[in-house]
Amino acid sequence: MRVRGLTKAYKGHQAVAGVDLDVARGEVFAVLGPNGAGKTTTVEILEAHRNRDGGEVSVLGVDPAKADRAWRARLGIVLQSANDAANLTVNEAVRHYAKYYADPRDPDEVIELVGLADKAKSRAGTLSGGQRRRLDVALGIIGRPELVFLDEPTTGFDPEARRQFWGLIKNLAAEGTTILLTTHYLDEAEALADRVAVLAGGRIVAEGTPQNLGGRAHAEATVRWSDDRGRREIRTHEPTKVIAELARHGELAELTVTRPSLEDVYLELIA
Pairing of strands 13-22, 2-10: antiparallel
42 in helix, strand or coil? helix
Averaged pLDDT in 10-residue chunks for the chain of 271 residues: 95 92 94 90 94 96 93 87 78 94 91 90 89 88 92 80 85 91 89 93 91 78 85 86 84 83 84 77
pLDDT score for 81: 63
pLDDT score for 90: 94
pLDDT score for 80: 67
Q: How far apart are the first and last CA of the chain?
A: 28
pLDDT score for 122: 94
Q: Positive or negative CA dihedral for 8, 12, 15, 20?
A: positive
Report residue 37: phi and psi, to 5°: -75, -20
Length of the chain in residues, anyone? 271
pLDDT score for 254: 85
pLDDT score for 83: 64
Amino acid making up residue 117: A
Helical pair 129-141 and 159-174, crossing angle rounded to 10 deg: 10
pTM of the model: 0.80
20 in helix, strand or coil? strand
